[in-house]
Amino acid sequence: MLAIIAALPEELSAIVEAARGEGEIRTETVAGITLMHATLAGRQVLLARSGVGKVAAAATAAILAERVTGMILVGTAGGLGPNVNPGDVVIATELLQHDLDARPLWDRWVSPVVGVARIPVDAYLTAALAAAAVGACSAHRAELSALGFGEPAVHPGLVISGDLFVATAEGSAQLRAELPDALAVEMEGAAVAQVCAAAGIPFAVARTISDRADHNATVDFPVFLNQVAAPYAHDLVVGALKV
């Protein structure tokens, strides 16, 4: 059974609604985290709203690790790559905690738990999400254009996570300078990655870009979150489950 995780209710709402249409949802609360046992695209899944940040995401992933055989994390992220714009989808190929620094004991960004800085994703789940992303982009093209976004694109690459909402040009420029191949920044992915890597559970991460992690982020993020994030996350997840 797969787990579907999103940090915010706005990111998970369309998925929960679709699951409700397929049958009863049984909820269970473990350590304050609500798990929803549901059917989605004809498959048994566990839906989980983690809350924001690496600690909340890691706690959720640890609880799920006892219950599922794979995890998919969806939601929004700030674009860092030069042509990674709001409305685009970033499919993580590896994830790194940009605020993890245990030097001089370990090299910068290395997670002592798993021994690497860049945690690789599961190829099969990631290919399913990448295939779904192409469909999700075309399904939302008109809506994105009406909101003033350009033609959406899919980018595979490095996603970085930290306990920071990056909302200044200086903050995103520093991340770009230190990690030039980072495509997107968010607050949960690498935490789920670390728990899954330690537990030997396959996982994948897809993020829709809501902002450019600059001073406009505080305006762009809520607009995207309220208008596009939910249906986008739904199409990515349901599309991937059907692959």
CA dihedral sign, ordered 45, 240, 89, 205:
positive
Stretch that binds ligand ADE, among 70-78, 103-111, 130-138, 196-204 (CB under 6 A): 70-78
Is 220 considered catalytic here? no
Asked if residue 85 binds ligand ADE (CB under 6 A), the reply is no
User: How far, in Å, CA of 129 to CA of 53, rounded?
Assistant: 22
Rg (CA), the chain: 17
Query: How deeply is 15 buried, as exposed, middle or buried, from its count of CB atoms within 10 A (0-12, 13-18, 19+)?
Result: buried
The smaller minimum CB distance to ligand ADE, of residues 19 and 48, is found at: 48
Binding pattern for the stretch 154-183 against ligand ADE, x by CB under 6 A and - elsewhere: -----------xxx----------------
Between CA 170 and CA 198 the distance in angstroms is: 34
Instruction: List the one residue from 53, 78, 81, 189 that touches ligand ADE (CB under 6 A).
Output: 78
Distance CA 66, CA 113 (A): 18
Can you tell me which of 47, 74, 137, 217 binds ligand ADE, judged by CB under 6 A?
217
Tokens of 116: 């690497």
Site for ligand ADE (CB under 6 A): which residue of 19, 58, 179, 213? 213
Catalytic residue among 11, 188, 220, 235: 11
User: Catalytic annotation on 211?
Assistant: yes
Q: How far is the CB of 201 from ligand ADE (least distance, A)?
A: 24
CA distances from 195 to 4, 11, 69, 155 (A): 15, 21, 13, 24
Question: Which of residues 15 and 40 has its CB atom nearest to ligand ADE in the complex?
Answer: 15
